[in-house]
Structure 1
C-alpha cells in the first residue's frame, strides 16, 4: 500500500522478491492510480473499509500488510480494528502520528500542482521531493505518473484526496495510543536517513508504542526506501516476514 497520492508502482522493485515467498496483492486506494475517482473527501475509515472489502472480495481471511506513508497509517488502523485478519505489519515511513504544517502544505502544493498541470517538470518535482537522490526518479516513473494524473477528472479527485493535509481533518484521523497498543502482532517500523516527512524519532516513537515492534533505519533513502534501496528493503522485509516466532 503506497502513500498519499502514491500508486502501486512505488513497489515495482519489491513485488518479484516478495512473490518468491508469498502471494502478493498490490492495489491502489480509491481515487489513486486507475481506481474510481474520489467524489468526496476520503478519510482513514474509508481506506480501512476499502481494504476490508478488497480482502473479502479476494477471499483472503488474514494477511500480512506492508504499507508506506499513508499505507502504513491504514495498516495500523486496520490491524487495530481487525486483529484477527492481520498477520505481520511492515510500516515503511508510516504516517499517522505527525501533523507538521510545513510538510502538509508542501504535499498539498506539489501534489495539486502536478494534478492541475501534469507536465513532466511538475511530476518530476513532486517525485523528487520524495527521494534522497533526485536521480532516483526515472523517466519511466514520471511517464507512469503523468498518465495517471492526466486522466479526466483526476485534478478534482486530487482535492478530495488531499483532505488529510487539512489540520482539523488530519487531527481526527491520527493514530491514538490505544490503536497502537491494539496492534498485538509483530510489526517492523522502517524509517530512513533522509525522509522529508519527518525525523526518524517519529518512527521510533511509533514502534515503542506497539507491544511487539522493532525499528530499523535504511540509509541513503528518502520517503521511498523500497524504491531507492530496494535490495536492502527486500532483504529486511523478507527476514522479518519469514522468521520463526
Structure 2
C-alpha cells in the first residue's frame, strides 16, 4: 500500500504528511527521530485512513527555529488537524509523540476519538527514570531501541532500511537541532504532565514493550492510574520499537481503535 505526500503551510512552516488507506482517520505522531520510518503503519492503513506528519524540523518537514518547547508543537498539531480537514481522528503517539498526543488530549481531547500512547515519554518520574541519551554511545543505541537488536540495526548505517550514510547523518543532525528546541524548556517532559492526565476524556490504550530500555515499562501503571478511561497492554519480549519487533502490536492497536 503506497503513501501519498501532503504538503501544508502551518503558520509559515512547510509541513509534510504521509497518508494512506481508507476509513476512519488516525493521526500518528512519531518520536524524537524518524529513523524507523513509517512502514509499520501499512497494516493500520488497511483499516483506517492514516496520517503521519513529520514534526517541524523532522523528516521532510522544514525547520521551525521559532518553536520553543512542546506547547508550541501542540498548537502546531491542532492547526494541522484543522488544515487536514479531519473530524475527530483517533490519535496515536510513540515515545515523544506519545507525550505530544497526551498533551493534545489533555488540552483538546474532545477533538479526537480514541487515544493510543505507545511507550510515551514525558512523565520523568524519579522512581522510574528513562535512559539518559547523553550517556548512550551510537554503538549502544540500537540495544536501547529494540530487545532484538537486529531489528533496530536495520535502521542504522549498513542496515537494510537505512539510507546512505551522508543522508542518515544529515537527517540526525537536522532532527537533533529540532529536538533541542523542544527539550530546552523542560527537557523530555513537563513537570505538571502528571497532573494534566486526569483531563483526558478519551478512551485510551497504553502500550509498552516489556523489555523497553529507553523508557521502562514500570512507568506504564503511572499513566493508566492517571488517565480516567485507560487500559494497559504489555507486549512481551520486545523493547521500545514494539511495533517493529512485534507486528501483532499494530494489530492490537487497530483492534482497539476499531472497537
Contact 1:29 1:35 in 2 (8 A): yes
Of 123, 143, 146, the residue aligned with 1:131 is 146
SS in 1 for 2:43: helix
Name 1:59's counterpart in structure 2. 85
Q: Report the Cα distance in structure 1 between the residues aligned to 2:165 and 2:49, rounded to whole angstroms.
A: 26
Return the structure number with greater relative CO, CA threshold 8 A, min gap 6: 1
Contact 2:91 2:116 in 1 (8 A): yes
SS in 2 for 1:141: coil
Higher helix proportion (structure 1 or 2)? 1
CA offset digits 1:144-191 (Å, max 9, x no partner):
78625325xx6365244135556x722872453442111111000011
RMSD (Å), alpha carbons: 2.8
Of 219, 224, 231, the residue aligned with 1:207 is 224
Q: Report the Cα distance in structure 1 between the residues aligned to 2:129 and 2:202, rounded to whole angstroms.
A: 33
SS in 2 for 1:189: strand
Q: Report the Cα distance in structure 2 between the residues aligned to 1:210 and 1:52, rounded to whole angstroms.
A: 21
Of 4, 22, 33, the residue aligned with 1:5 is 33
Residue 150 (1) aligns with residue 165 (2): no
Q: 1:68 Cα shift?
A: 0.5
CA offset digits 1:217-244 (Å, max 9, x no partner):
10121111011111x212211221111x
Contact 2:98 2:120 in 1 (8 A): yes
Range 217-226 or range 46-55, more displaced: 46-55
Q: Report the Cα distance in structure 2 between the residues aligned to 1:92 and 1:208, rounded to whole angstroms.
A: 16
Contact 1:99 1:171 in 2 (8 A): no
For residues 110-125 of structure 1, the aligned pairs below 5 Å read 122=138, 125=140
Q: Report the Cα distance in structure 1 between the residues aligned to 2:188 and 2:58, rounded to whole angstroms.
A: 22
The number of aligned residues is 225
Residue 162 (1) aligns with residue 190 (2): no
Higher strand proportion (structure 1 or 2)? 2
SS in 1 for 2:162: helix
Q: Report the Cα distance in structure 2 between the residues aligned to 1:108 and 1:164, rounded to whole angstroms.
A: 16
Of 193, 198, 201, the residue aligned with 1:181 is 198
SS in 1 for 2:115: strand
Contact 1:203 1:215 in 2 (8 A): yes
**Structure 2: tracts of 5 or more residues without a match:** 1-28
Q: Report the Cα distance in structure 1 between the residues aligned to 2:85 and 2:78, rounded to whole angstroms.
A: 11
Of 93, 96, 111, the residue aligned with 1:85 is 111
**Structure 1: tracts of 5 or more residues without a match:** 114-121
Distance 1:188 1:242, change over 3 A: same
Q: Report the Cα distance in structure 1 between the residues aligned to 2:77 and 2:201, rounded to whole angstroms.
A: 19
